[in-house]
Amino acid sequence: MRLKREDRVGKRQFIRLLMVAGGLFAIIFLFSLSPTLSEWYMHRIYPAVAVVLSFISNIFPFSLYDIFLIVAVLLLIVLVVSAVMRKISLSRFLFSVIRFVTVLVAWFYFVWGIAYFREDFYTRSDIEEKEYDPEVLKNFTVRFIEKANLYYVDCRDMDRSDVRLEIESLYRSLHEPLKISYPNGKRKPKPMMFEPLYSKTGVSGYFGPFFNEIHVNNYSLNFTYPSTLAHEMAHQFGIALESEANLYAFVICAQSNDEKIRYSAYASTLNYLLNDVYRVLPEEYASLRTSVRPEIIADLQRNRRHWLAARNESLSTIQDKVYDGYLKTNKISSGQANYSEVVELLISSYGILTESP
């Protein structure tokens, strides 16, 4: 009788867990179907969440996100080992796994992940999408290269703490045209706990949603640092798509009076433009690339060699596939290719959000 009574208690717990999990997943699914509802959440609820989480995370000089991932993986391993060694029953194992996944998924989406379901950039910004064809791309690239050549500056000597203050100031002054909430908590870039490992996979920065933390890889070269930081800050402001975060990073850095930050905007974006030219206008690629200042080409080549020197091909391939799958799971059908889609956004918004080339 006692065993049966304990079984009944276990079943009730299981049913309650399934009901809670089902309810939470249903709400998340509802958000995924309604960009308007998601937009409301990111403007009305998320800013308060960001304030609380960033306040907690800023108490600690290290990354809570990295520790959180370690603890989560260890807990999952302990659960699996316990089940294999029969230290816990199958029902208890399933209960624990479902509870674990429910907490992880709900935490992720309700503290930031709903940003993936927002209205698209053009709807949010009231900017009209311009036609993107080979001729438009060519003309824009020619003018963009002229600006990049004009703004070139040697960035080998850079005070990164000053860069952080300047980019924060730019987000504060430009938050209204960018249609983002400010202050939206605090942004304190943290070092990566496993920086050498991330360097091997080519990760220059990431946003840790569970504790609202920004991470930038200190392995990055100076001329890319401002754009990387501005990109990760854009994520913290609730911009989920990589293409949009790239656009916001460009707009912010290009508006700076600091010549090194402004150059970072153009140099970091130029690769995306040239890649599109190579894909869409292969016959024009050589001449357009030749028109770029040799110093800029040297910077881009140096950056490529810099990351290749640290790269581990196997780890990098795994990371790329995992992140590609993660993006596609969150309704970004192009996966990692979404980064390069900044070109279309840039052509439509250039001259509206920033100076015209």
Are the C-beta atoms of 157 and 279 separated by less than 8 Å?
Answer: no
Q: What is the DSSP letter of 129?
A: P
How distant is the alpha carbon of residue 342 from its chain centre?
13
Q: What is the DSSP string of 279-298?
A: HH-HHHHHHHHHTS-HHHHH
Q: Round to whole Å and give the CA distance between 238 and 184.
A: 9
**Per-residue confidence (pLDDT) for residue 355, from 0 to 100:** 62
Mean pLDDT by 10 residues, the chain (357 residues): 46 90 98 97 97 96 96 94 85 90 97 97 92 93 97 96 97 95 94 95 97 97 98 98 97 97 97 95 96 98 97 92 90 86 94 69
Are the C-beta atoms of 213 and 207 separated by less than 8 Å?
Answer: yes
Q: State the first-to-last Cα distance of the chain, in angstroms, to the nearest integer.
A: 80
**Residue of 274, 160, 278, 174 whose CA lies nearest to 225:** 160
- Residue 126 backbone class (left: φ over 0; alpha: ψ -120 to 50; beta: rest): left
Model-level pTM?
0.94
Q: How far is the CA of 204 from the CAs of 6, 197, 225, 284, 298, in angstroms?
A: 51, 11, 9, 30, 19
Phi, then psi, of 67 in degrees rounded to 5? -65, -40
Are the C-beta atoms of 253 and 261 separated by less than 8 Å?
Answer: yes
**Per-residue confidence (pLDDT) for residue 4, from 0 to 100:** 43
Q: Round to whole Å and give the CA distance between 40 and 357.
A: 34
Scored b (16 or more CB within 10 A) or e, 4-27 reads eeeeeeeeeebeebeeebeebeee
Helix (H) or strand (E) holding 237: none
**Residue of 226, 258, 252 whose CA lies nearest to 151:** 258
AA identity, residue 287: S
Are the C-beta atoms of 109 and 330 separated by less than 8 Å?
Answer: no
- Neighbour-count burial of 54, counting CB atoms closer than 10 A to its CB (0-12 exposed, 13-18 middle, 19+ buried): buried
Q: Round to whole Å and give the CA distance between 225 and 214.
A: 13
Q: What is the DSSP string of 153-221?
A: ---SS--HHHHHHHHHHHHHHHTTTTT--SS-S----B--TTHHHHHHTT--EEEEGGGTEEEE-TTS-
- DSSP SS3 for 354: strand
**Residue of 203, 194, 219, 218 whose CA lies nearest to 306:** 219
Are the C-beta atoms of 119 and 336 separated by less than 8 Å?
Answer: no
How distant is the alpha carbon of residue 26 from its chain centre?
25
Which two three-digit tokens encode residue 229?
């930081």
**Per-residue confidence (pLDDT) for residue 276, from 0 to 100:** 95
